[in-house]
Structure 1
Amino acid sequence: MVSSPRVRNTLTLFSSLDCVVCHRVRLVLAAKGVTYDMVAVDPAKPPDELVEVNPYHSVPTLVERDLVLYSASVVSEYLDERYPHPPLMPVDPLSRARLRLSMLRLEHDWVPQVQAIQAGNKTQSDAARKKLREHLLATLPLFKASKFFLNTEMSLADCAVAPIIWRLPQLGVSLPKDAKAIEDYGARIFRSPGFARSLTAEERAYRDGVA
C-alpha cells in the first residue's frame, strides 16, 4: 500500500505508472501488506535520485535505507524473505525451483512481447501480440491444473503472471473460448484486495469496474 506523502517509510519504490514488471513488485508489496513510498518514474526521464542509486536507471528499484535493489525478480525474492508472512514461495526446493524457472521463462518470453506491443510500431506490435497469445495458449494446461500458477497457494509466480493477464484487453490480445481457464484464473486474483491496492490509476483504467 502506498503511504500518505506526509509519512516517510523505510521502503521507497521507484516505479513506472504503467510497467508490467513494476506492477509485479507492487503486487508483491500489496500481498504482504507492506507500506512504502512510491516515486513515479518516467523511464525516458529518470529522476536524479534514481540515477544516483541505480547504474542502469531502471525500474523497479527498491531502496531500504542503505540497500538498493533492482530487477523485478531480485526485488520480489528479497521482499518475500524480508517480510515472510504470507510466504509467496513453497517450502520444498523442487517446487521453488519450478516456480523460479517459470518466472524466468515469463521474463524471457512473455514480458518482451508485452513491451513490444506497447512500444513497437504496428508490424512489431502485431507480431508480439501473436507470440504472446501463443505463449498463453501453450501454458493453458497449467492454468487448468491448479487454482494458482504451479502452486496451490498464491506465489511470486502469480505476482508475475497476473499483471500480464490484467493487461490483455489493453494489449489487444483476445483468447478463444476454450482458454476460459486463463480469464478465470485472472478473475480470482483480480478480486483480491491486494491486487486492487497494487494498481495505479493508469492500470486500473484497463478494466474499469473489475478491481
Structure 2
Amino acid sequence: MVLAAKGVVYDRVVVHPDKLPEDLHDLNPYGTLPTLVDRDLVLHDTAVICEYLDERYPHPPLMPIDPLSRARLRLAMVCIEHDWLPLIETIGQGGRKADTARKHLREQLLAARPLFKAAKFFLNPELSLADCLVVPVIWRLQALGVKLGREGKVITDYGERIFHSQGFARSLSDEERLMVE
C-alpha cells in the first residue's frame, strides 16, 4: 500500500507463503514476506521496508514531522505487527485456535477505537505508514469472519474512507479484491 500511496510504479510478485520460490532464499536468508528488491538493495522486514520507501520516495510523506507523533505511529505499528498480524495468521490456519484468534482480534480492534477516533486517519491528520498496516487488516475482516458489529462503526467508517481512495484501489492484488466481493 505504501508504493500505491506514493504513486510509485512497481512490479509485484505474488508469492504464497506455503510455496516460496527458491530464489527468495537467495535474496532473503530468512525466506520471509514481504521482501522488497530495489536495484541492488533487498529488504525483508515490513517496518524497514515501509520506512525505506517513505524516505526513498518523500512525496507525499507518510510520517509526521514532529518526533512525538512519529514515535506514537511507530509504536502503533509495532503493536499492529506483534498483536494483530499473528492473530490473522492463526485465523488463516483454521480450527479451534482460529475461533479464539477471531475473538481476540475483534476485542483488540474494539479496544483500539479511540485510536480510530483521534484524527481523520489512524492517529494522524494525514495518511501515514500506520494506515498502510491497519487498512489491509480492516479490508480482510469479512474474509476472516471477524464481525465488529455496531460497536466497531468508527473502525468500519475509517476503513470505508480509505477503501475508496485511488491509492488503496491500486494497492490491491486480484486475490485481495475478491476478499470483499
Aligned residue type for 1:60: P
User: Equivalent residue of 1:68, what SS?
Assistant: strand
| Count of residue correspondences | 181
Structure 1 Cα separation of the partners of residues 87 and 117 of structure 2: 23
Structure 2 Cα separation of the partners of residues 98 and 151 of structure 1: 10
Runs of 4+ with deviation above 3 angstroms: none
Q: Could you tell me how far 1:48 is from its partner in structure 2?
A: 2.6
Once the two structures are aligned, what percentage of the paired residues are identical? 62
- Superposed, 1:96-135 pairs within 5 Å as 96-119=70-93, 121-135=94-108
Equivalent in the alignment of 2:24: 50
Q: 1:86 aligns with which of 60, 63, 66?
A: 60
Matched, 1:146 2:146: no
Matched, 1:155 2:104: no
Q: Could you tell me how far 1:89 is from its partner in structure 2?
A: 0.1
Matched, 1:29 2:15: no
Equivalent in the alignment of 1:176: 149
Structure 1 Cα separation of the partners of residues 101 and 110 of structure 2: 14
Q: Could you tell me how far 1:145 is from its partner in structure 2?
A: 2.2
State TM-score, norm by structure 1: 0.83
Aligned residue type for 1:36: Y
Structure 2 Cα separation of the partners of residues 136 and 89 of structure 1: 22
Structure 1 Cα separation of the partners of residues 19 and 151 of structure 2: 43
Q: How well do the aligned residues superpose, as a CA RMSD in angstroms?
A: 1.0
Q: Could you tell me how far 1:37 is from its partner in structure 2?
A: 1.4
User: Equivalent residue of 1:63, what SS?
Assistant: strand
**8 Å CA contact retained: 2:138, 2:156:** yes
- Which stretches in structure 1 are left out of the alignment for 5+ residues? 1-26
Equivalent in the alignment of 1:189: 162
Larger proportion of strand: 1
- Which stretches in structure 2 are left out of the alignment for 5+ residues? none
Structure 2 Cα separation of the partners of residues 124 and 71 of structure 1: 26
Structure 2 Cα separation of the partners of residues 182 and 148 of structure 1: 11
User: Equivalent residue of 1:38, what SS?
Assistant: coil
